[in-house]
Structure 1
Amino acid sequence: MKVLLINPAHKGYYFRLGAIYPPLGLMYISSVLKRANHPVTLIDMNVQPFDWQKFDYSDFDVVGISVDTPRFPLAKQIALRAKNHGVITVLGGPHATAEYESILKEGICDYVVLGEGERTFLQLIESLERGEPHPQIGGLAYLSEGEVFARPPEFVQSLDELPFPDRENVKLYKTKFCGQPATSMITSRGCPFDCEFCSASQFMGRRIRERSVENVLEELELIKKMDYGSVIFFDDNFTLNAKKTIELCEGMLKRNLNFRWWAFARADELLNREDLLEAMSKSGCKMLFIGFESAEDKVLKEYKKGLSSSIAFEVIKLLKKYKIDVFASFVIGALSDTKESIMKTVQLAKKLKASIVQFSILTPYPGTRLYERLKSKILSKNFSLYDGTHLVFEHPNFSPSELKKLFVKAYYCVYTSPRMIFTRGIPFLLKLLKNRGKDESYDLRFGET
């Protein structure tokens, strides 16, 4: 069957500030389908012109659309348009997995793929070819005679069995890191932690499934041949298995894979692991994304983060020793947050002297425990606002506009520091202010109303 895969455009702050990466999920599905001799076209609307309103979807048998929460409104319109052309439509991704019942009952699509999509999507295509409209497939949901039928997702246990992501169109991406063309990849799936605001453990499972080091190195060699000089590892927790991470770093050195790379890590996994940090640094690690989240331990406890804020400076000091920069992430707007606790978090962000600082507003994404806890307090179901820059639930201490002002002030406070202003501050703040809503104006002095 002829398949069209679509990655809807993202218009949120972080994407408008340049955070655009290839859609690995769809790229894996594309490779699996092509290996089974199904013709596939993959469109990423973030980097490719695609007029979804005028496009003739009837040229395809099946249209598959990947969707997270802020992109759901656009994904819904595309799906309905495809259905109107008589094409079988399939939604997948974190939001579709969490909200599959309402999506199917609303008639937005024909099928929803739950969780990981490679095997389920392929099995669905093969069943449709055999004329089976209601296949009994793990990880598939559909509506029949007004009733939703769904089987729980089945995780791919041996990731080495999957072909490498389809990188046919990755040259369209202009992402750079350390001045080098960059692309993304993963070495594992799953997250054993269960942070209140994160859906990773629900979507990918809490058991870590790892690719073999040899398999990862083979993909890195392929990427090198494509003239990439940088890699971004999008594992939810790249350093969880320190022994394997060290083995991978050593393999990169032996094969002269001279990448500059960054990854995601937890602060507590880096303490007392100088062997790990030394191996990472030697193999080209230049930055780690670390979620410090808050300066208040009561907030970290609320988030179920399993960390103490007291380790932040120790971790930063250790990383600087090995010349690894830090991308520090913080989440403001916890139920226990006050203006004073947010100011304390902002001051921590300044004092850490991280290379990049990111603030997000606490957002109850469907599929998280936070969403279930706050269902009765949700202020808006306009999912385009669920981008980490808007307050979408009734907060005990802030109105949406009050927290939005604190959010912008937090960025201003950090990026106008003498250390940041001439390196990252001016370009970043110009983009941030340019992308604010037309009706938004702020007094950017912290401590002022």
Structure 2
Amino acid sequence: MRILLVNPSNKGYYYRLGAVYPPLGLFYISSTLKKIGHSVRVIDMNVEPFDWRNFDYSSFDVVGVSTDTVRFPLAKQICQVVKSQGVITVMGGPHATAEYEKILTDGICDYVVLGEGEVVLPKLLEALKNNERKPDLSGLCYIENGTIVSKKPEFVEDLDLLPFPDRENFTAYRTMFDKKMATSVITSRGCPFNCEFCSASQFMGMRIRKRSVENVVEELKILKKMNYGSVIFFDDNFTIDKTRTIKLCEQMLKENLNFSWWAFSRADELLGKEDLVEAMSKAGCKMLFIGFESAEDEILQEYNKKLSSSIAFDVAKLLKKYKIDLFASFIMGALNDTKESIKKTIKFAKKLGAEIVQFSIMTPYPGTKLYEKLKSKITVKDLSMFDGTNLVFQHPKFSPDELKKLFFKAYYSIYSTPRLIFKRGIPFLIKLLSTGQQAAYSM
């Protein structure tokens, strides 16, 4: 069958800073479908022009659209145009998984795929090929006789069985890291921590499923042949299995891959594990993204982070010893936040000495515990504003304007310091500050 997969654009914070990475979920699905004989085209609107309003979809049998919350308004419009041309539409991604009932009730698409698409989508296409429009499949949702039919998704148990992401047309991605061409890799799926504001554990499951070290290294060798010099490991938690991480680092060294790379981690997984940090540094790790979120332990308890702010400076010191930059992330606008606690967090972030600091405004994304707690208080209906830079619910202590001002002041306070001006350079800081200012006054 002829399949079109569309990744709607996201012109948010990272895009404006030039960090655009391939939608690996769609590229995994593309390679999976190609392997069994389907013809697949992927359109990523972040890197290529796409006149979705006037495009002729009729040459495809099925069009799949991936979406998170902030991109849902555009994904919805695309699906509606596809349906108007009589083509079967499938929607997937975190937002579709969380809101499948409303999506189907509103008639936005024909099917919703829950969770990971590599298992259910090939089965759906086989059923459609056999003129079976209402197949009984795990992870597939649709309306039959006015009733929503849905079954819980199946997760991919053995990730090594998946073909590598379809990188046939990767020349459009020109993101740099450490002055080298960079691309993204996922070595595991799932997250056991279930933080209140995050939907990762709902979308990918709370049980960690890991690719073998050998399988990851094989993909890295392919990327090296494609002239990539940097890699971003987009696992929700790259360092959760210390033994595996060290083994991967040792194998990268043994194979002389010489990548510069960064990954996502947690502070409590690094403290007291100097051998892990040393192994990562030797294998080319240049930066780690860590969500510290707040300087107040009361706020961390509200987020269900299951860690204390007291360890942050020891972790920062450990990373500095091994010349690994710190990418520190913070969230403002917790229900228990006050102006004083936010100002304390800003001072905390400034003192931490991170090379990059990210601030976000707490946002209740569908599929999170936070959304269930706050959905009756959400005041903003435009989901494109759910980008982490807007207050979208009625906060007990802040107005949207008050939190916006604190948000921008946080960025200005961090990035106007001589240390970061010298480290990052004036052009980078102007771009970052203007990005923060655009976000702060975009209402």
TM-score relative to the length of structure 1: 0.96
Separation of aligned partners in 2, 1:373 and 1:244: 36
Match of 2:240 in 1: 240
Question: What do you get for the CA RMSD once the two structures are aligned?
Answer: 1.4
Separation of aligned partners in 1, 2:392 and 2:44: 28
Match of 1:140 in 2: 140
What SS does the aligned partner of 2:232 have? Answer: strand
- State the Cα distance separating 1:407 from its structure 2 match: 0.4
Give CA deviations for 1:362-401 in whole Å, capped at 9, x if unaligned: 0000000000000111111210000000000110110111
Gaps of 5+ in 2: none
Give CA deviations for 1:329-349 in whole Å, capped at 9, x if unaligned: 000000000111101100111
Please identify, of 313-322 and 10-19, the stretch whose mean Cα deviation from structure 2 is larger.
10-19
Structure-2 change in CA distance of 1:116 and 1:167 (3 Å): same
Match of 2:154 in 1: 154
Separation of aligned partners in 1, 2:313 and 2:228: 33
Contact 1:412–1:429 (Cα < 8 Å) also in 2 = no
Separation of aligned partners in 1, 2:387 and 2:77: 19
Match of 1:231 in 2: 231
Contact 1:415–1:425 (Cα < 8 Å) also in 2 = no
Separation of aligned partners in 2, 1:425 and 1:394: 38
Contact 2:5–2:26 (Cα < 8 Å) also in 1 = yes
Match of 2:275 in 1: 275
Separation of aligned partners in 2, 1:158 and 1:209: 7
- State the Cα distance separating 1:72 from its structure 2 match: 0.2
Match of 1:445 in 2: none
- State the Cα distance separating 1:422 from its structure 2 match: 3.6
Gaps of 5+ in 1: 443-449
Match of 2:358 in 1: 358
Structure-2 change in CA distance of 1:438 and 1:398 (3 Å): closer
What SS does the aligned partner of 2:389 have? Answer: coil
Match of 1:17 in 2: 17
- Counterpart of 1:382 in structure 2: which amino acid? D
Spell out the pairing of 1:110-121 with structure 2 (5 A cutoff). 110-121=110-121
Displaced runs of 4+ in structure 1, greater than 6 A?
Answer: none
What SS does the aligned partner of 2:349 have? Answer: helix
Contact 1:415–1:426 (Cα < 8 Å) also in 2 = no
- Counterpart of 2:360 in structure 1: which amino acid? S
Separation of aligned partners in 1, 2:248 and 2:232: 14
Give CA deviations for 1:105-160 in whole Å, capped at 9, x if unaligned: 00000000000011111111111001110011110000112211001010000000
Spell out the pairing of 1:126-275 with structure 2 (5 A cutoff). 126-275=126-275
Contact 1:113–1:140 (Cα < 8 Å) also in 2 = yes
Percent identity of paired positions between Structure 1 and Structure 2? 69
- Counterpart of 1:55 in structure 2: which amino acid? F
- State the Cα distance separating 1:434 from its structure 2 match: 4.2
Give CA deviations for 1:196-219 in whole Å, capped at 9, x if unaligned: 000000000000000011100100
Separation of aligned partners in 1, 2:104 and 2:72: 14
Separation of aligned partners in 2, 1:91 and 1:439: 31
Match of 2:342 in 1: 342
Match of 2:441 in 1: 440
Separation of aligned partners in 2, 1:91 and 1:171: 26
- State the Cα distance separating 1:266 from its structure 2 match: 0.3
Structure-2 change in CA distance of 1:396 and 1:206 (3 Å): same
Please identify, of 11-20 and 114-123, the stretch whose mean Cα deviation from structure 2 is larger.
11-20
Contact 2:300–2:308 (Cα < 8 Å) also in 1 = yes
Separation of aligned partners in 2, 1:213 and 1:245: 9
Match of 1:323 in 2: 323
Separation of aligned partners in 2, 1:438 and 1:231: 28
What is the number of residues matched between the two proteins? 442
Structure-2 change in CA distance of 1:224 and 1:86 (3 Å): same
Structure-2 change in CA distance of 1:226 and 1:268 (3 Å): same
Separation of aligned partners in 1, 2:429 and 2:134: 52
- State the Cα distance separating 1:33 from its structure 2 match: 0.2
- Counterpart of 1:143 in structure 2: which amino acid? I
Structure-2 change in CA distance of 1:14 and 1:93 (3 Å): same
Match of 2:100 in 1: 100
- State the Cα distance separating 1:19 from its structure 2 match: 2.4
Match of 1:446 in 2: none
Contact 1:415–1:424 (Cα < 8 Å) also in 2 = no
- Counterpart of 1:165 in structure 2: which amino acid? P
Separation of aligned partners in 2, 1:311 and 1:318: 11
Spell out the pairing of 1:284-299 with structure 2 (5 A cutoff). 284-299=284-299
Separation of aligned partners in 2, 1:425 and 1:397: 37
Contact 1:185–1:232 (Cα < 8 Å) also in 2 = yes
Separation of aligned partners in 2, 1:175 and 1:433: 20
Match of 1:447 in 2: none
Separation of aligned partners in 1, 2:425 and 2:284: 26
Separation of aligned partners in 2, 1:427 and 1:334: 32
Separation of aligned partners in 2, 1:163 and 1:304: 35
Separation of aligned partners in 1, 2:316 and 2:440: 38
Separation of aligned partners in 1, 2:29 and 2:440: 41
Structure-2 change in CA distance of 1:69 and 1:379 (3 Å): same
What SS does the aligned partner of 1:69 have? Answer: coil
Separation of aligned partners in 2, 1:255 and 1:53: 48
Separation of aligned partners in 1, 2:199 and 2:378: 18
- Counterpart of 2:355 in structure 1: which amino acid? S
- State the Cα distance separating 1:438 from its structure 2 match: 9.8
Separation of aligned partners in 2, 1:244 and 1:438: 39
Separation of aligned partners in 2, 1:157 and 1:441: 43
Separation of aligned partners in 2, 1:83 and 1:218: 40
- Counterpart of 2:95 in structure 1: which amino acid? H
Structure-2 change in CA distance of 1:264 and 1:441 (3 Å): closer
Spell out the pairing of 1:27-42 with structure 2 (5 A cutoff). 27-42=27-42
- State the Cα distance separating 1:424 from its structure 2 match: 2.9
Structure-2 change in CA distance of 1:205 and 1:439 (3 Å): closer
